[in-house]
Amino acid sequence: MMQRHLGFSEEDLMLNAGRAAFKLLQIQYPAVRKLIVFCGGGNNAGDGYVLARLAHEQGYSVLINQFKPTEQLPPLARKMAERAQQAGVVFLFMEDTIDNDAELIVDALLGIGIQNQVREPLQSAIALINDSGLPVLSLDLPSGLQADTGVILGHCVKASCTITFIGLKTGLMTMDGPDYRGHLFLDDLGGGTCLSQIMPAATLIEEKEVASLLAPRKKNSHKGDFGHVLIIGGGEGMPGSVCLAALAAARTGAGLVTVATKPEHAKRPVTGLPEAMIHGISSIKDILSLIKRASVCVIGPGLGTDDWAVQLFNEVIASQLPMVIDASALRILADHPQHDDNWILTPHPGEAAGLLHCKINDIQSDRFEAVSQLQQQYGGQIILKGLGSLIRTDAAKTYLCAQGNPGMASAGMGDALSGIIAGLIAQKFSLAEAARLGVWLHAAAGDLAAGEEGEKGLLASDIMPFIRLLMNNKIRLGPKIGL
């Protein structure tokens, strides 16, 4: 039981949760004096009863809208409801309107235990909350959100802010969670270092970890110290993909960048990067000489799936260079599955579905299970892109990136990510380090670029200056989660 790990009784945890939520309410909504607390039928409701009692004792006008009779509640939640009644809090039962004087709703309807679709009467209660136009504070997670996967179970409270307890729930960080949680706050309920005994489902990539790994360079350095990235792609009609990957690798700090592409695309320099070398590949002999000189290879941006592409893919796989496999190369891999520990695969949900021969909905319904399956089947490091990008390492650890924004859902962003990761590998980061650092740097650069001029119209090329700033620890984002 969780209380054994934390050294508290279940009652202490519930009281601490209610106190923490009330404290946050006072900080976030200092002008609010009238609130209504929606309480469901489980222990999440118990947290709501504690908050309601504390607010009442502090002179707030409080109504509790109860959706299960007190006598039918679990023992501890029943005890907290009885205390609230004894304190004089006004109770309503399944009220289908909201008092006109209410200034805030506290959502304590459903907690982490929900696995099935939301049914009546809670379905109507959630609709009532969402239609109220009032700010909403959700306790632990918005009611109707699946705590592990972030999938909405039919209906979900749209919170203004959420305070989650003990540890971050993975569902708050991926899929629909970020759209429904509002501002996110965490309280460990006094667990502190005791939480280190609990194996997390995923580890959040933190800015301080990234910064600690990006050490300054030695003064006595030359370009050979920072590796040579080979980028293969740019098939018919898609020369820009390799240009973006090359620019990202260079801005990440790779010493040399070479592009291998269709002969007709090699007649012009890499757009925005005259420092890059470019070679037209018309035969296997051409690519072999480039592979021998490279430290790491990116294959896939704009590659296509024709015979030219398949031949290049096979030669890269045979080389045993560290590899970043993206875009078209993932489709080739899906048709010819194999296992390799020396690569990083970077699928979006559609490409992941192709690799696992399933539907996109199967991937999105449990992204954590999907990234684990991909790693087991294909080996190496797997990056499942999307909101709350996931990294599954060959050490069976899962990392989650909380950075990123919807402006990054645009052409070329995946090419930039591949280039960033390759640039890190070239600088002697391990594949596991490069995967998680690369995802964070890419997403953080996207957030910084969006902060300058907005999310709409954000281009992959817009993030390039921020990659350099982040690599040199010249700029910081600050926390996305309140603590």
| 387 carries a ligand binding annotation | yes
Q: Are 138 and 115 in contact (CB under 8 A)?
A: no
| Burial zone of 119 (CB within 10 Å; 0-12 exposed, 13-18 middle, 19+ buried) | exposed
Q: Are 389 and 173 in contact (CB under 8 A)?
A: no
User: Using CA atoms, how far apart are residues 271 and 448, in angstroms rounded to an integer?
Assistant: 23
Q: Are 357 and 335 in contact (CB under 8 A)?
A: no
| 461 carries a ligand binding annotation | no
User: For residue 193, what is the DSSP state?
Assistant: G
| 190 carries a ligand binding annotation | no
DSSP string, 53-105: HHHHHTT-EEEEEESS-GGGS-HHHHHHHHHHHHHT-EEEES-SS--TT--EE
| 412 carries a ligand binding annotation | no
| 179 carries a ligand binding annotation | no
Q: Are 425 and 255 in contact (CB under 8 A)?
A: no
User: Using CA atoms, how far apart are residues 288 and 291, in angstroms rounded to an integer?
Assistant: 5
| 302 carries a ligand binding annotation | yes
Half-sphere exposure of 481 (CA within 13 A, CB side): 23
| 372 carries a ligand binding annotation | no
| 286 carries a ligand binding annotation | no
| 117 carries a ligand binding annotation | yes
| 240 carries a ligand binding annotation | no
| 388 carries a ligand binding annotation | yes
| 265 carries a ligand binding annotation | no
| 389 carries a ligand binding annotation | yes
| 183 carries a ligand binding annotation | no
| 111 carries a ligand binding annotation | yes
3-state secondary structure (DSSP) of residue 61: strand
| 314 carries a ligand binding annotation | no
User: For residue 396, what is the DSSP state?
Assistant: S
CA 202 to chain centre: 10
Handedness of CA 175, 176, 179, 184 (dihedral sign): negative
The region, left, alpha or beta by phi > 0 then psi within -120 to 50, assigned to residue 70 is alpha
Show binding-site residues for (6S)-NADPHX.
111-117, 140, 302, 348, 415
Residues in the annotated binding site = 44, 107, 111-117, 140, 143, 302, 348, 385-389, 414-415
Residues annotated in a binding site for K(+): 44, 107, 143
**Residues that constitute the known binding site for AMP:** 385-389, 414
